Amino acid sequence: MRNKKIENGVMLQFFEWYLPDDSTLWNTLKKKAAGLARRGVTSVWLPPAYKGQAGKHDVGYGVYDLYDLGEFEQKGSVETKYGTKEEYLSCISELQAQGIDVYADIVLNHMMGADATDEVEAVENMRGDRLQEITPVQTIEAWTQFTFPGRNGAYSDFIWDATCFTGVDWDERMEKVGIYNFEGVEWNPGVDRENVNFDYLMGADINHRNPRVIEHLKEWGQWYLDTTHVDGFRLDAVKHIANDFFGDWLGTLRENNHAELFAVGEYWHADANVLEEYLDACGRSMSLFDVPLHYNFFAASHSDGWFDMRRLLDGTLVARDPEKAVTFVSNHDTQRGQALESAVLDWFIPHSYAVILLRPQGYPCIFYGDYYGVEKYESEGFTGELDVMTYLRRTRLFGPQHDYFDHEDVIGWTLEGDETHPDSGIAVIMTDRLGGEKQMYVGAHHAGETWIDALDIEQHEVIIGEDGTAVFSCADGSVSVWVKEPEETLVIERLDDAAKRRSVRKPSARRKRKSS
């Protein structure tokens, strides 16, 4: 059985790729912590907090120094893109004080921005087949010396050199791009089979078979926990790292700290079979993001109404292994212009979040850009809709569940609610084309109750029949979320105090409609 906080929780990814380089994120989030807790957010995924190769201009994935959390003058700044170490730790403390768990983004696949080069014997591999050599052994000049002069040995005197890596993609001597595998050091096994062996991704690729490196990364992990007191991790690029590494790394930290340490891995693959293989190989030591579900959302949003909605959950991790599925709609990598660009179109974003937030299966993650909007693209986000859904998730999502994935355009589901949670129970209906109706069962104990659309799209009321069923409707290309009419006007406060409020109106503002 999973931790109840996870089982009923909502994760928020509190960053997007195009945030300004103003080093204010930690302070901004600290101020929002109490509001996030009120909205039902139970955990926050923070971006990489250590110094990247571009200093304060680095999003965090060009890792330079794992020990510099915005404390040392390195790569042109003391602070990172998001703030200083002191601000980071203060932000974490405030989130936890508000009952919100904090997950740190951990990038242990590669390092970038080395301080000096090493001469290394290497062979160049084909880009599409990393096991196929296209040159004989040659001497290259690789950026693999990480001495961290700005930190000057604080916290750790470990120096990274060529022996700590398996390869690079740049020969400084010849000023040539290529995939260079160091002589005598094979690419790590147990990685994704794309490009035959997808160990190498970018930068100086860390050798996860080197005992000295493994021991150092465990020491660093313990230092990070001792310093930050985070509750868990988001693990970057796990498909490029030997599949037994994180099971060992996480196992050591969990045992030494007697802590659960929730972890979710980013294994970017659209085939749930591959994700399940990885879960087995890593000893089920982590959850995984449900990439196949994301691609179903992406396909549906771009189908112009021709997606078979009955298949929306087909081939997904949440359908096969809900306890290990972290469901999401978008993230920083799927944004326009990014490496995994696959943005779900705006019209289908409420549908997608209804699926991950208003069904109990999986651990849903809300993306910053979907919630607050993305300034670069002048998108406003869906704060109102998501506030309503997170509120309903924690107040209505109980009892037996009934799925109605029985029409190619109009689908729905219900939860009956239970006696422990007053007014609980919910009916969700959506369409990718024309609006429609569906008779669905919500429980005989709701007979005679008046239900309304909490998203305020459908303006009539529904009266639950004596048999516990009613006909629920949704508008063209829309989603509606039906709940018992509250005795008082239900107002969902938005997190931004300057923003408008969204309200669920009283019956006087609606047309009454009885079930058929």
Picking from 18, 16, 69, 99, the residue whose alpha carbon sits closest to that of residue 224 is: 69
Residue 266 is a catalytic residue = yes
Name the amino acid, one letter, at 9. G
* Sign, Cα dihedral of 10, 67, 168, 108: negative
352 touches 343 (CB < 8 A): no
280 CB-near residues (< 8 Å, 6+ apart): none
Q: Is 38 exposed, middle or buried (0-12, 13-18, 19+ CB in 10 A)?
A: middle
Helices (H) and strands (E) counted in the chain, each on its own, are: 11, 27
Picking from 216, 114, 132, 247, the residue whose alpha carbon sits closest to that of residue 178 is: 132
Q: Is 226 exposed, middle or buried (0-12, 13-18, 19+ CB in 10 A)?
A: exposed
Q: Give CA torsion, residues 268, 272, 276, 281, to 10 deg.
A: -40
Tell me the angle at which helices 245-257 and 211-228 cross, rounded to the nearest 10 degrees.
40
Candidate list 236, 409, 416, 449, residue with the active-site label: 236
CA 363 – CA 134 distance, rounded (Å): 45
Phi and psi angles of residue 151, each rounded to the nearest 5 degrees, phi first: -90, -30
Q: Which tokens is 349 given?
A: 């974003």
Candidate list 192, 266, 290, 370, residue with the active-site label: 266
Query: Any idea which residue has 């704060």 for tokens?
Result: 383
Q: Give CA torsion, residues 435, 331, 308, 477, to 10 deg.
A: 10
174 touches 117 (CB < 8 A): no
Phi and psi angles of residue 254, each rounded to the nearest 5 degrees, phi first: -65, -45
The strand pairing partners of 430, in sequence order, are 411, 479
316 touches 293 (CB < 8 A): yes
Residue 308 CB-half CA count within 13 A: 5
- Running DSSP on this structure, what letter comes out for residue 347? G
Write a three-state SS string for 218-286.
HHHHHHHHHHHCCCEEEECCHHHCCCCHHHHHHHHHHHHHCCCCEEEECCCCCCHHHHHHHHHHCCCCC
91 touches 174 (CB < 8 A): no
* Catalytic residue numbers, as ranges: 236, 266
